[in-house]
Structure 1
Amino acid sequence: MTTFSLNSLLLHRFGFIWASVLPIAVAGAVEFAPLQAIDPGEPLASIVSKAAHVVPSPRQVAYHKNEFIGFIHFGPNTFTGREWGNGMEDPKTFAPTGLDTDQWCETLKAAGMTMVVMTFKHHDGYVLWQSRYEKHQTIKNSPFQNGEGDIARELSKSCAKHGLKFGIYLSPADLYQIESKDGLYGNGSTSRKSTIPTDPASFKTAPEKVRADRPAGAPLFTFECDDYNRYMLNQLYEMLTEYGPVHEVWFDGAHPKQKGGQTYVYDAWYEVIRTLAPNAVIFGKGPDVRWCGNEAGGTRATEWNVIPLPRDPKDFDWPDMTDKDIGSQAQLAGAKFLHYQPCETNTSIRHGWFWRDDAQQSVRTADDVFDIYERAVGGNSVFMLNVPPNKSGRFSERDVESLRETGRRIRATYGTDLAKGGKVSAPKLQDGDLDTWWEPKDSSGELVITLPSPAPVNRFVFQEALAKRGQRIEKHALDAWIDGKWTEVATGTTVGYKKILRFPTVTTDKLRLRVLESRLQPTVAEVLVHFYDQPPLPVIATRDASGNVTLALKEPSFEGKGAGFKTSGLTIRYTTDGSEPGPKSPIYQKPVPMTDGGSITARSFSAKQQGAVERFHFGPSKSSWKATATSEENATYDAAKAIDGDPGTFWHSRWSAPAPEHPHTLTVDLGNPMTLTAVTYLPRQDKAVPDGMIEEGRIETSIDGKTWTTAGTFHFGNLVNDPVERTHDLKKAVQARFVRLASVKGAAGKPYAAVAELGVLTAPSN
């Protein structure tokens, strides 16, 4: 068995030695470390002082510098159109015909990314490498390369070729192992002495037997574990010894289904990772990096890396931290330990983590991706953007176009420091070294940055000396020298690894950064000044209950003082025939009536540029529709709320006792017969809870409201974290006046059903 002292175990798991996290008695000093222990009854001032001494581990420092990384979801779901598979898919379902991992890496590199993490085993349990431990749900049983394919091998080689770091996602949840008769997950097996890597032929009968073909010199591990943990440990061992170097290991906390009280021996998992991939951070269910708390690209205005823990991290289970405030002084007050754990902001370029189609599935524009980049990377977070390959095994054209334009904007904006060659009132703040810094004697102070000559500016970047002094700044402001006086142009709170202040364009030759509040003395390690040449803004569309479509400019949200995306001088032009709007297309001046549904294509124009093309599809107006349901909680949640055009209201089945079980039905009278091609479902939008989320159900149609026909069944996965509108395409167009949605299963097994908006899409009229 691999043995460790307490100090060496903590060094392996958390990147520090225990002696360095305790308060140093000499002269009351506190040593800088990734963890600080809090004494019972310790005053808040002392706790805050310790928080100012929490610093990242070397692997976390390297992780911060990644800034923008890629995520790839690929597997059977790509071919079935599901977000979460059920584990029972035919392994031949996975059948890419033109896999091109070089195209992936070339595109992600062009976008400005530094690392790629891929789902080599998602919740369905399908394995995308030549694992010795999976015989059924595996790429070995795929027609891809006659069962000899290995996506991990190809991607790791492409990453090395294109200068990208490589990361792995292994889902602890495994629906195949749960659902299969002989599955290992929750099978009631007892913990047994197991050697990792285990001989596959003796996996159950003699788990202490060593795999004969382990890489030369690779270490052995011995753990007490059950069958499923042994399975996971061997998969980790394969990935970390045969496809590295690995820089991030992603453990998703999602569990579509659990069985048999299965638990995980995370300590053993961490030990294997720390030993075989010492530079890799552990995301999610682990101590290094935490989830941002949403899947929509949302960021906190105040993002702390110093996290209060209620107990020792070696006994902590690392739950999702979704609150808006997780690290303020108010939160620190109840801490038993202070731990360094930065945030990763992850979202997908598409609606959904997996590719579904290139006709209806929406793709984020470069405007959207660039905005998230500035808020995430410039808000003390690492930005992880998922880009799912299509059925051929390539990124689709719209995704590539958006990513390349995003990369162009990043380079054009942040590739030139307008302050270079000027003067800063403190030395070494433009040397590219985060280990040299300015530190005033008090908890506030100011810096003046003089540009070589007056220039238009609208971005200011600065960074703290995290590795040496931790995160300290709590409040700051930026001034510009305009017309002979200082004018405040932006404000903010935390800084951390990087802060990007965005503000209206001003022409100036001098900026002043004021640190207003800090935990002990603040530090600033780097300052940079930039200009973003903003293209015309994207267009958004909304439709009222009468069927009138309103077009508007989409302005990114700002926190604190500072905004200034230019809307003046922009016009919106649109078409309704599917063509791209040009300079001679109609100018939008008032809502466009679309009572019978249809499509609008729009973009904004300035005098010299044109914005991104946006396409919007609408079903028929709901103004004459009527809805009934088999169950309602009360009038606030009655059936009519599902068709009122307001996403903030919703129908909800009865939850008061006695609450009925599934199925619940919502029936809509469309008023007139229509040729239906799809049904749309918007889950409740008020909060991220599974109550009422309809995961599985049926679509039924009728001409007279008496005789019903099943038009299709649906399965919507990951609704709680991704509550966007879902579209269920009917296999064939159906003539109907009545539509009925019947719930079969709720998310997380909940017995309720809810609908914020139910809609239909129709075939074009002749």
Structure 2
Amino acid sequence: YTERTIPRAVEGRPFENKTTFTFKVDDYNEYFLNQLFELLTEYGPIHEVWFDGAHPKRKGGQTYNYLAWKKLIKALAPKAVIFGKEDIRWCGNEAGKTRDTEWNVIPYTQNPMEMNSFPDLTNESLGSREDLYKGKYLHYQQAETNTSIREGWFYRDDEDQKVRSADDVFDIYERSVGGNSTFLLNIPPNRDGKFSPTDVSVLQDVGKRINETYKANLLSAAQGPKEVLDNDLSTFKLLGDDTNEIVLEAAKPITFNRLAIQEAIGTHGERVEKHALDIWVDNAWQEIASATNIGYKRILRFPEVTAKKVRLRILESRFYPAIANISAHFYASRPPQLSLERSVDGEVSIMPKKDTFGWKPHGEDIAGNINSGYSIRYTTDGSEPTAASTIYNGPFAISSGEVKAVAEVNGKLGSVASQMFGIVKKDWKATGEDSVMGEHESKNAFDGNASTYWSSEAKGKNHYITIDLGEEYTITGFAYTPQTDSSEGMIEAGTVFASSNGQNWSPIEDFRFGNLINDPTTRTHMFHQGVNTRYVRVESKEIAGNGKTAAIAELDFLVE
């Protein structure tokens, strides 16, 4: 370690910013500080400096002199916050998953303003009273929920690399920003140095939803403490021993399904530990939502309600709560698209269409989160479902036939989803295939789970699978569901064969499905006439995109 001047003077390379620093550092830290100087002075204002979880090389005893880095950052970019250090901490995952309770007042045994390195803080108890008692310093260090709009941090392509839906991004926004954390969404540029049109479309949709939902406070003119209605975090209503609630009354009933609450954290810190929201209905208070802490912001989401009076109750707190803002909002819920599945035992399940985004799943019920209070109606006789059709309460048995379903929210019906179900698959057995690729066994082609699939080896366009249906049926057609992990193996054309003994085969019909890569949905082919058979064989003749492997997520054989 020797004394170095930052930036290092280089002949013919002057810096417009003439500030210099003197640090006692080694070659690596000098190199790093010179890079930081350039980044913070020559590319416009910087608002966040993001340190990933890199560690110094153990060989040779390398160390990072973060205190020197911080001094330079604070001098050159005074408005910038530092991620991974004392300003902002990692939320603990890259999936967009959030905690139900996210405290930002964090206990430390050392003074965080003097620390050189910061470990990841991911315990569920982080910020709890029990943890606070163990600390010598209490430090405000906000969580950052960071994830990517694409599968991975970098752009690969617009064909196979999936992009989060607008529903997903909007849900993460409300859970993170409305859960006392910051939302950082990675949007990687494509090979032209631009954002992909697919990504832009999602962002525009999400931005429109945020603006339409949160641009106005439906309680702005309500009667009640003005400090919580002026959209000013420096004013607040301080609750005390005499009251733990705030009541707001609008001039006329308002319809809303979101309530945003903010504490005056700049002057009073984070105090609320548990709270509830009530509305005045039929001359009585009715609780419609509850949650734990509030902090900078909590967004409560609930089914659409209409009321004139609302009440915020603070149920538990760390000293007297200081409430800075309360605002009511209406999100125009969209009935989710539905999908239908049937188990090998013949039980039909209806649910919101599963998101195909497969990178680091967060496990959230996206449709349920943003569209609280939706219901599902269905029919089994081929008729179109309406708001008066049977309500779906759970899986039901059907031996064969068509099921149609629609989601309803606040009187609005979504698009109708339909699925033709054939023979129940519990007695089916795979009796042969030309090849198997890895774990993608032939039984996956009829296990009732479209996320698993049979795949052949990449040997060409001609592949086959044979199945014993368990007994003889008169089959009238079949349905093919392609796998959607990628665009590989989609069977574009082929032939279905029948056999009474599994040895001697007769062709039933040729089939052809188009546009599978762009629209990888279930396809149905009806035969010109029914065929009695126990054994069936599906052979591929053409693979979409001139592929060399065949894949089947689900096969269904239809009966009259």
Q: If the TM-score is normalised by the length of the shorter chain, which range does it land in?
A: 0.5 to 0.7
The aligned counterpart of 1:410 is 210
The aligned counterpart of 1:396 is 196
Q: Judging changes above 3 Å, is the alpha-carbon distance between structure 1 residues 519 and 566 closer, same or farther for their aligned structure 2 residues?
A: closer
SS at match of 1:270: helix
The aligned counterpart of 2:259 is 460
Map 1:69-148 to 2 at 5 A: none
Q: Distance in 1 between matches of 2:119 and 2:437?
A: 41
Q: Is the 8 A contact 1:676 1:734 kept in 2?
A: no
2:429 paired with 1:429: no
Runs of 4+ with deviation above 4 angstroms: 254-261, 538-551, 554-559, 566-573, 587-591, 602-614, 622-626, 670-680, 728-737, 758-761
Structure 2: gaps spanning 5 or more residues: 355-361, 380-385, 395-404, 418-424, 441-450, 465-484, 494-560
SS at match of 1:476: strand
The aligned counterpart of 2:2 is 192
Map 1:43-442 to 2 at 5 A: 191-199=1-9, 213-254=13-54, 260-284=60-84, 286-313=85-112, 314-315=114-115, 317-424=117-224, 426-442=225-241
Q: Distance in 1 between matches of 2:227 and 2:159?
A: 52
Q: Deviations over 1:262-320 (max 9, x none)?
A: 32111111111011001100001x11001111111111111111101122221352111
Q: Deviations over 1:657-704 (max 9, x none)?
A: xxxxxxxxxxxxx97555889999xxxxxxxxxxxxxxxxxxxxxxxx
The aligned counterpart of 2:491 is 764
Q: Distance in 2 between matches of 1:729 and 1:287?
A: 52
Q: Distance in 2 between matches of 1:317 and 1:625?
A: 59
The aligned counterpart of 1:650 is none
Q: Judging changes above 3 Å, is the alpha-carbon distance between structure 1 residues 222 and 386 closer, same or farther for their aligned structure 2 residues?
A: same
Percent identity between the aligned chains?
Answer: 45
Structure 1 residue 354, shift from structure 2 partner = 1.4
Q: TM-score, normalised by structure 2?
A: 0.66
Amino acid at match of 2:246: L
Structure 1 residue 454, shift from structure 2 partner = 0.8
Q: Distance in 1 between matches of 2:222 and 2:13?
A: 60
Amino acid at match of 2:23: F
SS at match of 1:459: strand
Q: Deviations over 1:183-212 (max 9, x none)?
A: xxxxxxxx3322111145xxxxxxxxxx66
In structure 1, which of residues 537, 558, 565 is the aligned counterpart of residue 371 of structure 2?
565
SS at match of 1:246: coil
In structure 1, which of residues 498, 505, 520 is the aligned counterpart of residue 304 of structure 2?
505
Q: Distance in 1 between matches of 2:438 and 2:304?
A: 45
Q: Judging changes above 3 Å, is the alpha-carbon distance between structure 1 residues 227 and 193 closer, same or farther for their aligned structure 2 residues?
A: same
In structure 2, which of residues 327, 331, 339 is the aligned counterpart of residue 528 of structure 1?
327
Q: Is the 8 A contact 1:448 1:512 kept in 2?
A: yes
2:269 paired with 1:470: yes
Over the aligned positions, Cα root-mean-square deviation in angstroms equals 4.6
Q: Deviations over 1:95-134 (max 9, x none)?
A: xxxxxxxxxxxxxxxxxxxxxxxxxxxxxxxxxxxxxxxx
Q: Judging changes above 3 Å, is the alpha-carbon distance between structure 1 residues 671 and 468 closer, same or farther for their aligned structure 2 residues?
A: farther
Q: Distance in 1 between matches of 2:259 and 2:124?
A: 25
Q: Distance in 2 between matches of 1:730 and 1:309?
A: 55
SS at match of 2:74: helix
Amino acid at match of 1:370: F
Amino acid at match of 1:193: E
Structure 1 residue 527, shift from structure 2 partner = 1.0
Structure 1 residue 238, shift from structure 2 partner = 0.4
2:250 paired with 1:451: yes
Q: Distance in 1 between matches of 2:490 and 2:427?
A: 19
Q: Is the 8 A contact 2:374 2:407 kept in 1?
A: no
Q: Distance in 1 between matches of 2:105 and 2:274?
A: 16
Q: Judging changes above 3 Å, is the alpha-carbon distance between structure 1 residues 557 and 489 closer, same or farther for their aligned structure 2 residues?
A: farther
Q: Distance in 1 between matches of 2:68 and 2:323?
A: 39
Q: Judging changes above 3 Å, is the alpha-carbon distance between structure 1 residues 549 and 236 closer, same or farther for their aligned structure 2 residues?
A: farther
Amino acid at match of 2:299: I
Q: Deviations over 1:708-764 (max 9, x none)?
A: xxxxxxxxxxxxxxxx99xx9999968899xxxxxxxxxxxxxxxxxxxx9995341
The aligned counterpart of 1:496 is 295
Q: Judging changes above 3 Å, is the alpha-carbon distance between structure 1 residues 237 and 316 closer, same or farther for their aligned structure 2 residues?
A: closer
Structure 1 residue 399, shift from structure 2 partner = 1.7
SS at match of 1:428: helix
Q: Judging changes above 3 Å, is the alpha-carbon distance between structure 1 residues 244 and 733 closer, same or farther for their aligned structure 2 residues?
A: farther
Q: Deviations over 1:226-252 (max 9, x none)?
A: 222222111111000101211100000
SS at match of 2:170: helix
Q: Judging changes above 3 Å, is the alpha-carbon distance between structure 1 residues 606 and 565 closer, same or farther for their aligned structure 2 residues?
A: closer
Q: Is the 8 A contact 1:553 1:567 kept in 2?
A: no
SS at match of 1:460: strand
The aligned counterpart of 2:524 is none
Structure 1: gaps spanning 5 or more residues: 1-190, 201-210, 574-582, 592-601, 615-621, 627-669, 681-723, 738-757
Q: Distance in 1 between matches of 2:406 and 2:161?
A: 19
Bigger CA radius of gyration: 2
Q: Is the 8 A contact 2:335 2:414 kept in 1?
A: yes
SS at match of 2:101: coil
Q: Distance in 1 between matches of 2:5 and 2:378?
A: 65
Structure (1 or 2) with the greater strand fraction: 2
Q: Judging changes above 3 Å, is the alpha-carbon distance between structure 1 residues 386 and 605 closer, same or farther for their aligned structure 2 residues?
A: farther
The aligned counterpart of 2:498 is none
Q: Is the 8 A contact 1:460 1:530 kept in 2?
A: yes
Q: Judging changes above 3 Å, is the alpha-carbon distance between structure 1 residues 532 and 572 closer, same or farther for their aligned structure 2 residues?
A: farther
SS at match of 1:411: helix
